[in-house]
Amino acid sequence: MNTPSGREGVEADFLEGELKAIGFTTWRDGAGQTVGGNTGNVLARLEGTAPGATALLFNAHMDTVAPTDALVVREEEGVLRSSGDTILGADDKAGVAAVLEGVRAAVAEGFPRPTIEVVFTIAEETGLRGAKALDYAGLTARQGYAFDGGRPTGGIVVAAPSQNSLRVKVHGVAAHAGGAPEKGVNAIRVAADAILRMPLGRIDGETTANIGVIEGGKATNIVPDLVTLRGEARSRSEEKLERQTQAMVDAFHQAAAAAGVSAEVEVARSYTRFVVERDDRVVQRAVEAGRRSGIAEPVIRLGGGGSDANIFNANGIRSVVLGLGYDNPHGVDEHVPLEDVAIASQVAVELIRLAGQER
């Protein structure tokens, strides 16, 4: 299925049908309108059979990054790959498959289970927009698992950073580059000066920063009067994020002031950090579920990126991210062993079994 962000409708139809067949009540929210896509998020609930058991939320995102045109999935010696011209989309269809197969198998086994809620989101890859626009009022689970991690399979991401995004305009003064260059102020040069003044890359163990887009200038014979830039800073520490963001903002203003021009810097919060403690039931249950699924020692780690789990945590659903064993997500050589998807779906089964036994 070809489902880039905003075009998940065909997959949403399929998944709603599958969930209904298992016994779930399904519905969609209005997030599609908010993000300009052709479907909302798919939500589903199956009431529990174990009285008093903790309700669980399972999540994966339906969209993928591009390119996906003429996507073909090939299996080679138990490993799923694309033709090499497109991404595979294991990020995050391996997660979708693990959740769907996990809940199906758990219900089929018939053991006492908690209430299960499933959320298949849209537009994760374009800024977690589906999760941000999700209608949380219909959800009761307060503990969740986002099946949206890479290697290792069954690995548990218990923390993720906050991210700020920066949009910058550096103003210069236009002039003829041959006739009167001294009348101009080169905005590209001011932007370059600003970038050299700021710390970028890996700042410390929990902080990163990047300038990712720079655009400006019209012709070689014009001193450019405008450069626009986009960048970001991330940290698992709000204090460090604030410091790094301020250093980037200051660098633009200082470089502009040194050249006698100005810079406009807009800072926006993309998503907010989360930490789930290692002794939390959400984590410990995932460790035990991994062991029961054949993973000797499930890896607990701190994440460097945002995911729908950031948004769930911000909305009161304590969530971690589980690994699916795919490699090179977002690349045309993305691939995933079928065995790993099967293990991840077994992790979902065991999470349900364990929660059904808890009181």
Question: Contact between 340 and Zn ion (CB under 5 A)?
Answer: no
Q: Of 91 and 225, which has the nearer Cβ to Zn ion?
A: 91
In angstroms, what is the minimal distance from the CB of 91 to Zn ion? 4
What is the phi/psi pair of residue 218, to 5°? -125, -40
Catalytic residue among 8, 16, 124, 193: 124
Q: 3-state DSSP call for residue 127?
A: coil
Q: Which long-range contacts link 73-80 to residues 24+ away (Cβ below 8 Å)?
A: 75/338, 78/337, 78/338, 78/339, 79/335, 79/336, 79/337, 79/338, 80/335, 80/336, 80/337, 80/338
**Residue 219 class from Cβ within 10 Å (0-12 exposed, 13-18 middle, 19+ buried)?**
exposed
Residue selected from 148, 193, 308, 340 as contacting Zn ion according to rule CB under 5 A: 148
* In the chain, beta strands by DSSP E: 25-28, 42-46, 56-61, 74-76, 79-81, 116-121, 143-149, 156-160, 162-171, 175-176, 201-204, 207-216, 222-223, 226-235, 263-271, 274-275, 300-302, 318-323, 335-337
What is the C-alpha to C-alpha distance for residues 164 and 231, in angstroms, rounded to an integer? Answer: 9
Which residue number places its CB atom closest to Zn ion?
A: 92
Tokens for 226, please give them.
């405008």
Residue selected from 29, 63, 91, 308 as contacting Zn ion according to rule CB under 5 A: 91
124 is catalytic: yes
204 is catalytic: no
Q: Of 64 and 186, which has the nearer Cβ to Zn ion?
A: 64
Q: Candidates 18-26, 142-150, 196-204, 237-245: pick the segment binding Zn ion (CB under 5 A).
A: 142-150
What is the C-alpha to C-alpha distance for residues 137 and 123, in angstroms, rounded to an integer? Answer: 20
Residue selected from 92, 193, 225, 308 as contacting Zn ion according to rule CB under 5 A: 92
Q: Of 152 and 217, which has the nearer Cβ to Zn ion?
A: 152
Q: Candidates 77-85, 143-151, 175-183, 184-192: pick the segment binding Zn ion (CB under 5 A).
A: 143-151
In angstroms, what is the minimal distance from the CB of 324 to Zn ion? 9
Q: Of 117 and 148, which has the nearer Cβ to Zn ion?
A: 148
In angstroms, what is the minimal distance from the CB of 246 to Zn ion? 30
In angstroms, what is the minimal distance from the CB of 126 to Zn ion? 11
Q: Of 92 and 225, which has the nearer Cβ to Zn ion?
A: 92
Residues at the contact surface with Zn ion, assessed by CB under 5 A: 91-92, 148
Q: Which residues are known to be catalytic?
A: 63, 124
